[in-house]
Each structure stands twice: as C-alpha cells, then as structure tokens.
C-alpha cells in the first residue's frame, strides 16, 4: 500500500502508483470524500465532455457577441438560483 508524508505546509506528494491508477496529471483537480468511519476517498475530478462540448469554434455558427454571452450567463445564473431556492438551499 502506497504511503505519503504530510509536509509542514500541509502538502502531500501523491505516490506514483496512485497517480497512475487514477490517471492523474499535473494540474488535475482531486476530490476528497469523507466516510462515516473516518476513511477518505480520493478521486480524480474531471469535467464531463458534455459540459465542454461546443466550446471550440464552429465555422458554421456565427460568433457570439459579448452582449449575448452576458445574457446567457445571466440566464444560467437565474436558473441555478431558482433551482437552489426550490431545493431550500
């Protein structure tokens, strides 16, 4: 079982075996989940493809203006806020 040491600054070098099994690369984000018995689960936090689909330029589509981007962001924030209110957050 791989072991790591915590530095005085709270940093840990993740052992190579763990990085390979989780397919971690420099800059990857890591999610820590705490279990009821005190265990910690470490998982790679990857963005699903569906969330980034369409971010690259599509030559058949007209470029979006800043005003359109702002409008889209405002609508997304409103939807997220509305969902949070309905869930009681």
Q: What is the pLDDT of residues 19-77, one digit of tens each?
A: 888 888 888 888 889 999 999 888 887 766 666 666 666 677 777 889 999 999 999 99
- Residue 25 DSSP SS3: coil
CB 22 within 8 A of CB 44: yes
pLDDT (0 to 100) of residue 25: 84
DSSP for 45-66?
A: E---HHHHTT-S--TTSPPPPH
For the four alpha carbons of 82, 48, 45 and 66, in that order, the dihedral sign comes to: negative
Interval 7-11 mean pLDDT: 95
pLDDT (0 to 100) of residue 21: 87
């Amino acid at each position: 079982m791989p072991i790591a040491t915590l530095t005085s600054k709270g940093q840990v070098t993740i052992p190579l075996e763990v990085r390979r099994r989780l397919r971690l690369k420099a800059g990857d984000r890591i999610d820590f989940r705490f279990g009821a018995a005190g265990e910690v689960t470490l998982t790679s936090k990857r963005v699903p493809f569906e969330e980034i689909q369409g971010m690259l330029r599509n030559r058949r589509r007209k470029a979006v203006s800043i005003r359109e981007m702002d409008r889209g962001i405002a609508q997304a924030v409103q939807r997220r806020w509305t969902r949070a209110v309905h869930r009681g957050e």
